[in-house]
A and B are shown apart, each in its own frame.
Chain A
Amino acid sequence: MLGFIHIAFPPLPALMAQLLIGLINGAFYAMLSLGLAVIFGMLGIINFTHGSQYMIGAFCAYLLLKFLGISYWWSLLIAPLVVGAFGIVLERLFIRHLYQLDHLYGLLLTFGLALILEGLFRQEWGSSGLPYSIPPTLTGAYNLGFMFLPIYRGWVIVASAVVCFGTWFVIERTRLGSYLRAATENPALVQSFGINVPRMITLTYGFGVGLAALAGVLAAPIYQVSPLMGSNIIIVVFAVVVIGGMGSILGSIVSGFVLGLIEGLTKVFYPEASSTAIFVIMAIVLLVKPAGFFGREFR
Chain B
Amino acid sequence: MQVKFLAGACAVALALGLGCANAQMSGKAVKIGVLSDMSSLYADIGGAGSVAAAQMAVKDFGGTVNGVPIEIVSADHLNKPDVGKAIVQKWIDEDGVDAVADVPTSSVALAVQQLMKEKQKVFLISGSASSDLTGKACSPTGVHWTYDTYALAHGTGNALVKQGGDTWFFITADYAFGHALQRDTADVVVKAGGKVLGSVDVPLNNADFSSYLLQAQQSKAKIIGLANAGGDTDNSIKQAAEFGIVKGGQRLAGLLVFISDVNSLGLDTAQGLVLTSAFYWDQNDETRAWSKRYMEQIHKPPTMVQAGVYGSIMHYLKAIKAAGTDDGPKVVAKMRELPINDFMTKNGKLREDGRVMRDMYLFQVKSPAESKYQFDYFKLLATIPADQAFRPLSESECPLVKKG
Please list the residues of chain A having a beta carbon within 8 angstroms of any beta carbon in chain B.
6-7, 10, 14, 17-18, 21-22, 24-25, 122-123, 126-131, 133-134, 141, 147-148, 150, 152-153, 222-224, 226, 228-229, 232-233, 264, 267-268, 271-272, 274-276
Is B17 part of the binding interface, using a Cβ–Cβ cutoff of 8 Å? no
Q: When chains A and B are docked, how far (Å) is the Cα of A126 from the Cα of B206? A: 18
B371 to chain A, nearest CB (A): 15
Q: When chains A and B are docked, how far (Å) is the Cα of A233 from the Cα of B248? A: 31
Q: A127-B231, A128-B44 are in contact. List 11 more A-B contacts (CB 8 A).
A: A7-B198, A14-B214, A14-B218, A123-B39, A128-B264, A148-B248, A150-B242, A223-B208, A224-B234, A229-B207, A264-B211
Q: Which of A22, A122, A272 contacts B201 (CB 8 A)?
A: A272
In the complex, residue of chain B having the shortest beta-carbon distance to the beta carbon of A260: B208
Ranked 6 nearest A-B pairs via Cβ: A267-B211, A275-B203, A21-B210, A272-B201, A127-B40, A150-B242
Please list the residues of chain B having a beta carbon within 8 angstroms of any beta carbon in chain A.
39-41, 43-44, 47, 174, 198, 200-203, 205-208, 210-212, 214-215, 218, 230-231, 234-235, 238-239, 242-244, 248, 260-261, 264-266, 268-269
A126 contacts B211, C-beta separation under 8 Å: no
B231 contacts A268, C-beta separation under 8 Å: no
- 23 residue pairs from A and B, CB less than 8 Å apart: A7-B215, A17-B214, A123-B39, A126-B43, A126-B44, A126-B47, A127-B40, A128-B41, A128-B43, A128-B44, A128-B231, A128-B260, A131-B264, A134-B242, A150-B243, A222-B238, A222-B242, A224-B231, A224-B238, A267-B212, A271-B201, A272-B174, A272-B201
Q: Which of chain A's residues have a CB closer than 8 A to the CB of B235?
A: 129, 223-224
B44 contacts A268, C-beta separation under 8 Å: no
Q: When chains A and B are docked, how far (Å) is the Cα of A205 from the Cα of B243? A: 36
B43 contacts A131, C-beta separation under 8 Å: no
Q: Which of chain B's residues have a CB closer than 8 A to the CB of A223?
A: 207-208, 235
Q: Which of chain A's residues have a CB closer than 8 A to the CB of B269?
A: 131
| Given known contacts A21-B211, A268-B211, A268-B215, A131 and B266 CB-to-CB distance under 8 angstroms | yes
A147 contacts B238, C-beta separation under 8 Å: no
In the complex, residue of chain A having the shortest beta-carbon distance to the beta carbon of B39: A122
Q: When chains A and B are docked, how far (Å) is the Cα of A228 from the Cα of B218? A: 31
A127 contacts B208, C-beta separation under 8 Å: no
| Given known contacts A22-B211, A131-B266, A141 and B243 CB-to-CB distance under 8 angstroms | yes
A270 to chain B, nearest CB (A): 9
A129 contacts B212, C-beta separation under 8 Å: no
Q: Which of A127, A226, A229 contacts B39 (CB 8 A)?
A: A127
In the complex, residue of chain B having the shortest beta-carbon distance to the beta carbon of A148: B244
Q: When chains A and B are docked, how far (Å) is the Cα of A228 from the Cα of B41? A: 9
A212 to chain B, nearest CB (A): 15
B260 contacts A24, C-beta separation under 8 Å: no
Q: Which of chain B's residues have a CB closer than 8 A to the CB of A229?
A: 207
Q: Which of chain B's residues have a CB closer than 8 A to the CB of A14?
A: 214-215, 218
A146 to chain B, nearest CB (A): 10
Q: Which of chain A's residues have a CB closer than 8 A to the CB of B261?
A: 128
A274 contacts B43, C-beta separation under 8 Å: no
B198 contacts A129, C-beta separation under 8 Å: no
Q: When chains A and B are docked, how far (Å) is the Cα of A126 from the Cα of B311? A: 25
Q: Which of chain B's residues have a CB closer than 8 A to the CB of A272?
A: 174, 201-203
Q: Which of A6, A10, A21, A129 contacts B234 (CB 8 A)?
A: A129
Q: Which of chain A's residues have a CB closer than 8 A to the CB of B215?
A: 7, 14, 18, 268
In the complex, residue of chain B having the shortest beta-carbon distance to the beta carbon of A226: B231
Q: Which of chain A's residues have a CB closer than 8 A to the CB of B43?
A: 126-128
Q: When chains A and B are docked, how far (Å) is the Cα of A223 from the Cα of B43? A: 19
In the complex, residue of chain A having the shortest beta-carbon distance to the beta carbon of B47: A126
In the complex, residue of chain B having the shortest beta-carbon distance to the beta carbon of A150: B242
Q: Which of chain A's residues have a CB closer than 8 A to the CB of B231?
A: 127-129, 224, 226, 228
Q: When chains A and B are docked, how far (Å) is the Cα of A264 from the Cα of B210? A: 10
